[in-house]
Structure 1
Amino acid sequence: MIELEGLTKRYGEKLAVNNLTFAVRPGIVTGFLGPNGAGKSTTMRMMLGLDNPTAGDVRIDGKHYAQLKDPLTYIGALLDAKAMHGGRSAFNHLLCLAQSNGIPRARVAEVLDTVGLTPVARKKAKGFSLGMGQRLGIAGALLGDPRILMFDEPVNGLDPEGIHWIRNLMKSLAGQGRTVFVSSHLMSEMALTADHLVVIGQGHLLADTSMSDFIEQNSRSYVRLRSPQQERLLDVLHEAGITVVEAGNGTLEVDGGSPEKLGELAATHQLVLHELSPQQASLEEAFMRLTAETVEYHAHTDEPGMTPPVQEPPLARPGWGESWDRAKDEGAR
């Protein structure tokens, strides 16, 4: 379990993380969401002892990260797939991590096989594609067979097969009772993977709830109706005291209605329905609604024909092993 209590980080005048308190529990995949600049990377770095909090506390299974002996056997993390020595082979990169954490050499071959890199185990990492580097970073996180795993943008650079694999891997790890904490901007992927969500904006906690509750609490739900007898259907709904909105293209929308009761009402009046379907917002729509006031970077298309400016990618974040001595304080992503 990862526990945060009043975690705060300030960089000069910039308050990157503000009094965060939440727990990441075992047995489920917890998604970590927030707009760019929300403080996600800074929070994850403080969890791993790469940044020191200005105030508050964060504990890994009841201990500060610095108190963990052989930390890779407690918590494995992927923060930056490029955080490796490019001149080393995949095997030697992992071997260095294993030797520094008292992990048997045989484990290196095991995790290389798990992530599908056995055929390139002796090739230098600098020649790896982004997806191969991502797989190597995941291998490093799995190396110590830890009870806690943390992934930042784990599907970055992966092909569809790789995305499907990492999704199932995270679910499998959680199913084994491990703590799995994953940050991603891909809402569609998070919706398929996470059971619980922690959402922050401008360093503040906005939500700490289940996936289903998050979508229900931050979106509009309604029932969509279509009928060749639309005018008659409208009359029946109005007579029943049901508020209905005409959405165009022959579609009617009833907020908060029960599909079963609406279907029974139509059947009672012998009305033909071509569609009767409950509608709910996607995770992306719910997320956009909740975080609308906390987005730091807004694109504008004021001029006709202008395309929105491309947002700068997040700063590279130091990860494991030999990259630690390069870790520096960074502002929130």
Structure 2
Amino acid sequence: MIELSELTKRYGGKTAVEGLTFAVRPGVVTGFLGPNGAGKSTTMRMILGLDRPTSGDVRIDGKRYDQLPEPLTYIGALLEARSVHPGRTAYHHLLCLAQSNGVPERRIGEVLDLVGLSGVARKRPKGFSLGMGQRLGIASALLGDPKILMFDEPVNGLDPEGIHWIRNLMKQLASDGRTVFVSSHLMSEMALTADHLVVIGQGRLLADTSMARFIEENSRPYVQVRSPDPERLRVSLAGAGLRPVPQPDGGFEVEGVPAARVGEIAAANGLVLHELSRRQASLEEAFMRLTHGSVEYQAREG
């Protein structure tokens, strides 16, 4: 488990993280979301002892990172996949990590095989593609067979097969009872992977909840309805006290009523329907709705 308590980090007069308190629990994949500049990378660096908090505390299974005797056996992390000595082969990069953390050498072959890099184990990573570099970074995180794993943008550079692989790997690690903490800007991928979400904006906690509840609380469910006689449909819905909102395809969005009620109104007025469906916002839409006031770097539409 990762536990943050009132974690704060300031750089001069700028506050990057302010009063963060949350726990990342085992058995689920926890997604870590926030706009650019929200403080996600700073938070992850403080978890790993790479940045010292201005105040507050962060614990890994009850200990600070610098108190862990062989840290890779407690927590494995992918923050910068390219953080590899260019003169070492993939195998020797992992060997150095293994020897410094009391990890048996046989584990190197296991993780290289797991991430699909056995065939390039004796090659230098400076010639690796971005996707291969990501796989080596994931191998490094898994090397100590830790109970806690932390990944920052793990699908960067991966092809569709690789994205499918890492998604299933994270789910499997969580189902094994491990703690999995993953940050990504790819909302569609996060929606398929995470069970729980921690969302921050401008360094502050905005949400700490399940995926389903996050979408429910930060979206507006509505009914999508479409008929070959849109004007009659509009009049019928309005006559029943509803407020149909016209859509570009000729259909209507109707809020505040179940789909069954819309269908009953149409049937009572002898209307043929080509579409009647309940819609829910996507994770991306819910995220944008929650964080719109916390975006530090925002481009203007042309």
1: distance between equivalents of 2:271 and 2:172? 47
Q: How does 1:171-190 map to 2 (within 5 A)?
A: 171-190=171-190
SS at match of 2:247: strand
Q: Using the TM superposition, give the Cα deviation of residue 301 of structure 1 relative to its aligned residue in structure 2, in angstroms.
A: 5.0
1:130 Cα deviation from its structure 2 partner: 1.0
String of CA shifts for 1:73-105, please: whole Å, max 9, x gaps. 111000000111111111111111111111111
Partner-residue secondary structure (3-state), 1:6: strand
Amino acid at match of 1:92: H
CA shift, 1:248, in A, is 4.1
CA–CA separation in structure 2 for the residues paired with 1:299 and 1:247: 27
CA change 1:159–1:248 in 2 (3 A) is closer
Whole-Å Cα distance in 1 between the matches of residues 105 and 264 of structure 2?
66
- Going from structure 1 to structure 2, the CA distance change for 1:62 and 1:295 (only over 3 Å counts) comes to same
State the 1:60 CA deviation. Answer: 0.5
What pairs with 1:110-125 in structure 2 (closer than 5 Å)? 110-125=110-125
| 1:232 alignment partner AA | R
Aligned to 1:51: 51
Q: How far apart, CA to CA, are the structure 2 residues paired with 1:248 and 1:127?
A: 49
Equivalent residues in 2 for 1:22-61 (5 A)? 22-61=22-61
Name the structure 1 match of 2:153: 153
Q: Which residue of 2 aligns with 1:83?
A: 83
Residues in 2 aligned to 1:53 and 1:207: alpha-carbon distance in whole angstroms: 21
Q: Which runs of 5+ in 1 are unaligned?
A: 303-333
- Partner Cα separation in structure 1 for residue 90 and residue 67 of structure 2: 29
Q: Which moved more, 1:282-291 or 1:132-141?
A: 282-291
- What's the CA shift string for 1:260-302, capped at 9, x where partnerless? 2322332344321100011222211221121111111122356
The amino acid that maps onto 2:221 is S
Distance in 2, Cα, partners of 1:95 & 1:260: 62
Q: Alpha-carbon deviations, 1:39-80, whole Å to 9, x = none?
A: 100100000111111111110111111111111111100000
Q: Does 1:242 align with 2:226?
A: no
Classify the secondary structure of the residue corresponding to 2:225. Answer: strand
Q: Equivalent residue for 1:307?
A: none
Secondary structure, in 3 states, of the residue corresponding to 1:223?
A: strand
Q: TM-score, normalised by structure 1?
A: 0.88
One-letter code of the match for 2:168? N
Deviations 1:175-210 (A, max 9, x none): 111110000111111111111111111101111111
Partner of 1:2: 2
Q: Any residues of structure 2 matched to 1:1-333 within 5 Å, and which? A: 1-300=1-300
1:172 shift after superposition: 0.8
Contiguous gaps of at least 5 residues in structure 2: none
Q: Secondary structure at the match of 1:167?
A: helix
Q: Give the Å deviation of 1:6.
A: 0.2
Q: SS state of the match for residue 103, structure 2?
A: coil
2:191 and 2:249 map into 1 onto residues whose CA distance is 30
2: CA distance between counterparts of 1:278 and 1:235?
20
SS at 1:291 equivalent:
helix
Name the structure, 1 or 2, with higher relative contact order (CA <8 Å, separation 6+): 1
SS, match of residue 288 in structure 2? helix
Return the TM-score normalized by structure 2: 0.96
How far apart in 1 are the matches of 2:284 and 2:186? 9
Instruction: Write the distance in 2 (CA, Å) between the matches of 1:216 and 1:291.
Output: 15
Aligned partner letter, 2:49: G
For the residue of structure 2 that corresponds to 1:23, the secondary structure is strand
In the alignment, what sits opposite 1:323?
Answer: none
Equivalent residues, number:
302
Q: C-alpha root-mean-square deviation of aligned residues, in Å?
A: 1.3
* Aligned-partner Cα distance in 1 for 2:93–2:263: 62
Alpha-carbon distance in structure 2 between the residues aligned to 1:273 and 1:9: 56
CA distance in 1, matches of 2:54, 2:97: 29
Distance 1:257 1:216 in 2: 16
Which position in structure 2 is the counterpart of 1:309? none
Other structure's SS at 1:30 match = strand
Paired with 1:46 and 1:202, the residues of 2 have a C-alpha distance of 16
- Give the Cα–Cα distance (whole angstroms) in 2 for the partners of residues 267 and 68 of structure 1: 67
